[in-house]
Amino acid sequence: EAGVTQSPRYAVLQEGQAVSFWCDPISGHDTLYWYQQPRDQGPQLLVYFRDEAVIDNSQLPSDRFSAVRPKGTNSTLKIQSAKQGDTATYLCASSFDRDQDTQYFGPGTRLLVL
């Protein structure tokens, strides 16, 4: 079974530039999560979807971050105007409604904002 895939794996930006991250969850998983993981810290939830609906985006900085999952499968997270404080690894994870205690993570995108 293919795991969660993410692209790109790495991104380096100047402040003010935009960037998009793409995630393809495990087939059949209805729930998709985006996390921000600063270096040497645990993942911090940004947003999660069940199918195409946003369930919780309360931790997403809405002025610069946006996330969509239009068909309930793949998802895109976009940073409109990156800041140095956005430097982190962005992790995507997916889970299945009947398996509520397990998430499957992708390899992440490591973002460096100069």
Question: Which residues form the interface with another protein (CB under 8 A)?
Answer: 4, 31, 33, 35, 40-45, 48, 50, 55-56, 91, 95, 97, 100-108
Which of 15/99 has CB closer to another protein? 99
Q: Which residue stretches of the chain are H helix?
A: none
What's the min distance (Å) between Cβ of 30 and another protein?
A: 9
Which of 26/81 has CB closer to another protein? 26
What's the min distance (Å) between Cβ of 107 and another protein?
A: 5
Identify residue 68 by its one-letter amino acid code: V
- Rounded CA separation 114/99 (Å): 40
What's the min distance (Å) between Cβ of 35 and another protein?
A: 8
Cis previous bond, 8, omega within 30? yes
CB 55 within 8 A of CB 46: no
